Amino acid sequence: MITIIDDDEAVRVATENLVRSLGFATSTFASAEEFLRSPRAGNTACVITDVQMPGMTGIELQNVLRAKGDRTPLIFITAFPEDRVRQQAVAAGAVGFLAKPFEGDAMIACIDRALVAGA
């Protein structure tokens, strides 16, 4: 199961369609808080999350998961690719950091890395 978290429904659906086309089951959430309240938290092979979201950001989600000892691989997607944010995400173990719009092949490579890292 691969989890997709993005407040932009169009991005969420497009990413879900790409991931499903690869043969993976997906679960989607409009917010990090919704994900954390769900049974998927701590029970997913990989999380693809937006960086900038109302409420909890993707970086804050990563910090919460890591503080709980959850090492689920994270892939970040963002319309605002800032080096400082990318470095922070990667330093905390992100397996990908993609600028929107991203190429499908770039996401596939990140998913491959995430599944190897999470194995």
pLDDT of residue 61: 96
Average the pLDDT over 39-66 and give the result: 94
Q: Is the pLDDT of residue 118 over 70?
A: no
pLDDT of residue 34: 97
Q: What is the pTM of this model?
A: 0.94
Phi, psi dihedral angles at 65 (to 5 degrees): -60, -45
- How far is residue 46 from each of residues 38, 57, 63, 82, measured CA to CA in Å? 15, 17, 15, 22
Q: State the residue for tokens 């407040």.
A: 7
Contact 76, 89 (CB under 8 A): yes
Q: Which segment of 28-32, 73-77, 91-95 scores lowest on mean pLDDT?
A: 91-95
Q: What percent of the chain has pLDDT over 70?
A: 98
